Amino acid sequence: MDWDKRDHIGVYPQKQASLNYVGLCVPIGRLYAPEMFEIARLAEVYGNGEMRLTVEQNFIIPNIPDSRLEAFLQEPVLEKFSIAPTPLVRSLISCTGAQFCNFALIETKNRALAMIKELETELELTRPIRVHWTGCPNSCGQPQVADIGLMGTKVRKDGKAAEGVDLYMGGKVGKAAHLGECVQKGIPCDDLKPVLRDLMIERFGAKLKQKASML
Ligand code: SF4
């Protein structure tokens, strides 16, 4: 059968009768140790102790019986690791970046999440947009397969060294997989948000929300 690419976030019935798997979104793929213990507890209490990781930096807890599903969905940790995240956070990917990786040319995860949340307050989306950040040319965040890929680099802004990105566009995954290409180099991170906003409007059908369009 020809499947479309799916991210597995949400609740889905398994082929085994009365069992379900639930995919939870981990924003920018950052999970701290206490959260990991809590997820492991959920997998033991509601499933069979198994959990699976996805290429989009999220996780799946399988084998949850119908009878336990409602209680599982009430667990407080699902407020952070949602089964129905906002659309840009849902498909946002980021490599580790300068906070914990010595190769990094820029900070990625915190910046990526903060910027995408700001864009979500400004834009209405008509389709998902996959934004991938990677902190250096090692490309752990795979910007080449993103709708909008951002690769960390050093730039000059107002005569000083600053953090910036090279912009990649045109990446596709699934049946028509295709690597995107670098279309613009050296955008200072401080100037990036309006660039992303314009791209989302012009190339991906996003619309300014009423309040944002009046600013
Ligand atoms: S892409 Fe570079 S900065 Fe990001 S995790 Fe990989 S090596 Fe580190």
**Residue 160 and residue 192 share a domain:** yes
In a domain, 2, yes or no: no
| pLDDT over 80 at 215, yes or no | no
Distance 8 CA to ligand 1 centre (A): 25
**Residue 80 and residue 39 share a domain:** yes
Instruction: State the Cα–Cα distance between residues 27 and 45, nearest whole angstrom.
Output: 24
pLDDT-derived band at 212, boundaries 50, 70, 90:
low
pLDDT digit string, tens, across residues 155-177: 999 999 999 999 999 998 888 88
Asked which of 58, 85, 112 is the last residue of a domain, the reply is 85
Q: Mean pLDDT over residues 81-93, rounded?
A: 96
pLDDT digit string, tens, across residues 94-124: 999 999 999 999 999 999 999 999 999 999 9
**Residue 191 and residue 122 share a domain:** yes
Is the minimum distance from the CB of 155 to ligand 1 under 6 angstroms?
no
Ligand 1 atom showing the smallest separation from residue 106 Cα: 3
* CATH code for the domain in which residue 135 is found: 3.30.413.10
In a domain, 120, yes or no: yes
The boundaries of the domain holding residue 207 are 88-214
Task: Return the best residue to mutate from 94, 96, 100 for the ligand 1 pocket (most ligand atoms within 8 A of CB).
Answer: 96
| pLDDT over 90 at 211, yes or no | no
In a domain, 149, yes or no: yes
Asked which of 44, 63, 85 is the last residue of a domain, the reply is 85
**Residue 99 and residue 70 share a domain:** no
Distance 147 CA to ligand 1 centre (A): 19
In a domain, 4, yes or no: no
**Residue 148 and residue 55 share a domain:** no
pTM: 0.92
* CATH code for the domain in which residue 32 is found: 3.30.70.3340
- Of residues 1 and 181, the one with the higher pLDDT is 181
| pLDDT over 90 at 63, yes or no | yes
Asked which of 65, 85, 105 is the last residue of a domain, the reply is 85
Domain count, the chain: 2
- Of residues 2 and 28, the one with the higher pLDDT is 28
Q: Mean pLDDT over residues 140-149, rounded?
A: 96
In a domain, 5, yes or no: no
Q: Token digits for 21?
A: 């798997």
Burial code (b: 16+ CB inside 10 Å, e: under 16) for 7-40 equals bbbbeeeeeeeebbbbbbbbbbbebeeeeeebbe
- From the number of C-beta atoms within 10 Å of its C-beta (0-12, 13-18, 19+), residue 66 rates as exposed
